[in-house]
Amino acid sequence: MKTTPFKILTLTVLSLISVAAGAQSFRNPVIGRSWPDPTVWSNGTRYYTISTGVGTIMTSEDLVNWTDLKKAPLSAEASEAAKAVGRKFWAPDVVKIKDRWMLYLTCYESAENCGISVFESESATGPWEFVGKLTHSKDNGIKDSIDPEVVMDPESGKVWMFFGSIGGIHRGGLTSDGKRLADGARFEHVAGLNINLNPSRSRVYEGAYLYNKDGYWYLFASSGKYYNHTYGIVVGRSRSLDGIFRDKKGKKMYWTLELATKLEDAPWPATKEELIDYATRTGLPLEVIENLQEIEDEGDVYETIEDIWPDYPSKEDFLFNEDEY
């Protein structure tokens, strides 16, 4: 994707603000109908948006006044092909990569049975044709593999996909055309806690969006319980797309390998309170203590670091049986 035509974030329709509109007055909501999880893009002259369900495309000249094109984004064949990945279509993301308009879409059945499909079109208004499945919860082991956000690093040209929800926000590299996972790509957990450790969802993030400004990449996400007043927006930033994202206090948005290894010598098995006591007594970084404090439990006993951070690399991740080779 390039700076022009460009893609614009809308975490909610209520947040749409038009640069093009300038001093023009407007009143929210600018789209007076159910329009969840929208993506907005421009072909340089007009703006377009689709939402969860991908039923139709809407267009605008100013991001304020919208007209329904009454046009299905997906071809009938593409829609049928994607249903093999998941029958519910959520949270689309449209970006331009090279000479193709790419559409990334959540295909959902359940938290344990959902994935992300990719489509392509020569036109900014489709129809989009099915390219294939990028990833799936059954393949990657990540619950709620949803809400794709694809961005290109303008300096390196590398394409990244961020996605996730109750299993945490992950990132992984894509091929330069955005159609497949890059060779050797691994999904790295970069933000948010697993819902098992944070039932209140105060640090369970979803709906990732990346925005580049003044030398930083800003990672926006939604947190809290989506069905009540606790739902809100959080943000962290990093100097690079493959870097560590921190909030305004400089706190990392998630456990990192560096922080997790500090607990390797903790007195396992241990409760949350015992781990906090250990971290305090041994002078571990404040971020370790803060992450432990965020865990919501009822006196649970954790056997190993893997109980707190399921993504923690085990010896099996690095070693192999030489007798097999």
From the list 164, 132, 166, 168, the residue with the least C-alpha distance to 146 is 164
Q: How much is the pLDDT for 303?
A: 92
Distance CA(152)–CA(79), nearest Å, equals 26
Contact 40, 50 (CB under 8 A): no
pLDDT band for position 3 (cuts 50, 70, 90): very low
The confidence score (pLDDT) of residue 17 equals: 42
CA distance 183 to 172: 11
CA–CA separation, 231 and 75 (whole Å): 34
Residue type, 110: S
pLDDT given for residue 297 in this prediction: 73
**Top-confidence range, 6-15, 120-129, 297-306:** 120-129
Q: What is the DSSP letter of 14?
A: G
For 227-276, the pLDDT digits (tens) are 888 888 999 999 999 988 988 877 778 766 677 788 989 999 999 999 99
Q: Please check whether residue 144 lies inside any domain of the structure.
A: yes
Specify the range with the lowest mean pLDDT, choosing from 7-16, 89-98, 114-123, 205-214: 7-16
Does a structural domain hold residue 325? no
Q: What is the pLDDT of residue 312?
A: 60
Question: In this structure, are 223 and 110 located in the same domain?
Answer: yes
pLDDT at 109: 97
Please state the pTM of the whole predicted model: 0.78
H-run or E-run covering 58 = strand 58-60
* Domain-ending residue, one of 204, 226, 254: 254
Q: Name the percent of the chain lying above pLDDT 70.
A: 86
The half-sphere exposure of 317 on its side-chain side, counting CA atoms within 13 A, is: 6
Average pLDDT over residues 133-153: 95
Q: What is the pLDDT of residue 48?
A: 98
pLDDT at 204: 85
Enclosing domain of residue 204: 7-254
| Mean of the per-residue pLDDT values of the chain | 85
- Given 207, 224, 254, which residue is the final one in a domain? 254
Q: Which of 205, 230, 254 represents a domain boundary (last residue)?
A: 254
SS3 state at 103: strand
**Does one domain contain both 184 and 300?**
no
Q: What one-character-per-residue DSSP string does 193-247 give?
A: --TTT-TT-TT-EEEEEEEEETTEEEEEEEES-TTSTT-EEEEEEESSTTS--B-
User: Which pLDDT band holds residue 212 (cuts at 50, 70, 90)?
Assistant: very high
CA distances to 10, 70, 100, 314, 321 from 317, rounded to whole Å, are: 38, 50, 37, 5, 12
Mean pLDDT (whole number) for 129-151: 96
* Strand order across the 232-238 sheet: 205-213, 216-223, 232-238
Tell me the three state secondary structure of residue 23.
coil
Q: What per-residue confidence (pLDDT) applies to 230?
A: 83
| Distance between CA atoms of residues 165 and 152, nearest Å | 22
> Domain total for the chain?
2
Helix 272-281 to helix 286-294 angle (10° resolution) is 170
Q: Pick the range with the lowest mean pLDDT from 63-72, 133-142, 186-195.
A: 186-195
Query: What's the pLDDT tens digit per position in 21-52?
Result: 455 688 899 999 999 999 999 999 999 999 99
Which range in 5-9, 70-74, 250-254 is most confidently predicted, on average pLDDT? Answer: 70-74
Please give the pLDDT value at position 5: 34
SS3 257: helix
Measuring CA to CA, which residue among 130, 114, 217 is closest to residue 167? 114
172 and 267 in a single domain? The answer is no
Lowest average pLDDT, out of 5-14, 23-32, 59-68, 94-103, goes to: 5-14
Residues 289 and 186 in one domain: no
Output the CA–CA distances (angstroms, integers) from residue 18 to 21, 22, 35, 95, in the order listed.
Answer: 5, 7, 17, 19
Question: What's the CA gap between 119 and 128, in Å, rounded?
Answer: 6
- Asked if pLDDT for residue 282 goes beyond 80, the answer is yes
What share of the chain in percent tops pLDDT 90? 63
Tell me, yes or no, whether 245 lies in a domain: yes
Judge if 112 and 229 occupy the same domain.
yes
Q: What does the pLDDT read at residue 286?
A: 84
- The region of weakest confidence among 3-17, 62-76, 205-219, 224-238 is 3-17
What pLDDT is recorded for position 299?
82
Task: Tell which residue, 189, 195, 171, has the closest CA to residue 181.
Answer: 171
